[in-house]
Amino acid sequence: DSGVTQTPKHLITATGQRVTLRCSPRSGDLSVYWYQQSLDQGLQFLIQYYNGEERAKGNILERFSAQQFPDLHSELNLSSLELGDSALYFCASSVGPKTDTQYFGPGTRLTVL
Amino acid sequence: DAKTTQPTSMDCAEGRAANLPCNHSTISGNEYVYWYRQIHSQGPQYIIHGLKNNETNEMASLIITEDRKSSTLILPHATLRDTAVYYCIVRVPLPTQGGSEKLVFGKGTKLTVNP
């Protein structure tokens, strides 16, 4: 158990819909990272927040957005969903802003029908 | 844009040492090498990291060559539960984002531990 929690575990929705994935980092960690893992793309870095501020941006689509709240939990919002957005979404956390050692949550499996 | 290369797959007998190689010939002087593993579809698990010296923890040992162009992760007594995809990673800078960096997970090595 990494100490990072993610909800929900599974999410099934339809194309065009919007969903929100939630992540709570390990106690004491200020950075939260979001990753997408699909069968053909591997594990792709999406975005990082550090202490409430966006720190780094990777291959995140404009239809996706994230935020980190004052209690340090983070939400990843996915809108106008397409079939290709079906994937595992992982959240990770670390103590500091510079990548450090990241601890991953169990993931949310999103299925878009 | 992974900066590391690893074999696609490896096999190891249960109880034997598993030695997983990684090439990172373009690594710069202050970059750490990280190893993670992913068991089936679980979240990746941090294993170990190092800069120059060899490192050991309760999970594994990391041997880094003197020129730092390659490294080897050693699982001293592999068990069936060590069957996973192992990722060797170096940080990749995001030059337009104020010195930020990201971890780039390549394809990794699929290690299968056989009974």
The candidate with the shortest Cα–Cα distance to B47, out of B92, B10, B88, is B88
From the centroid of its chain, how far is CA B91?
12
- On whether any CB of chain A is under 8 Å from the CB of B97, the answer is yes
Interchain CB contact of B68 with A (< 8 Å): no
* Rounded-to-10 torsion of CA B19, B22, B28, B34: -60
Determine the pLDDT at residue B26.
Answer: 85
Q: Is B100 exposed, middle or buried (0-12, 13-18, 19+ CB in 10 A)?
A: buried
Give A50-90 pLDDT, tens digit per residue.
999 999 998 899 999 999 999 999 999 999 999 999 999 99
Task: Please provide the average confidence, as pLDDT, over all residues in chain B.
Answer: 90
Distance linking the first and last C-alpha atoms of chain A: 31
- CB contact (8 A) between residue B101 and residue A109: no
pLDDT of B95 > 80? The answer is: no
Q: What's the confidence (pLDDT) of residue A64?
A: 97
Is B44's CB within 8 Å of A4's CB? no
Distance from the Cα of B41 to chain A's closest Cα (Å) equals 8
- Confidence at residue B1, expressed as pLDDT on a 0 to 100 scale: 58
Cβ proximity of B34 and B104 under 8 Å: no
Has residue A108 got a pLDDT over 90? yes
Residue bearing the bigger pLDDT, A2 or B85: B85
- Chain CA centroid to CA A48, Å: 9
Residue B2's pLDDT band (cuts 50, 70, 90): low
Q: What is the pLDDT of residues B38-92, one digit of tens each?
A: 998 899 999 999 998 899 999 999 999 999 999 999 999 999 999 999 999 988 7
- A84 φ/ψ angles, rounded to the nearest 5 degrees: -70, -5
pLDDT band at A1 (very low <50, low <70, confident <90, very high): confident
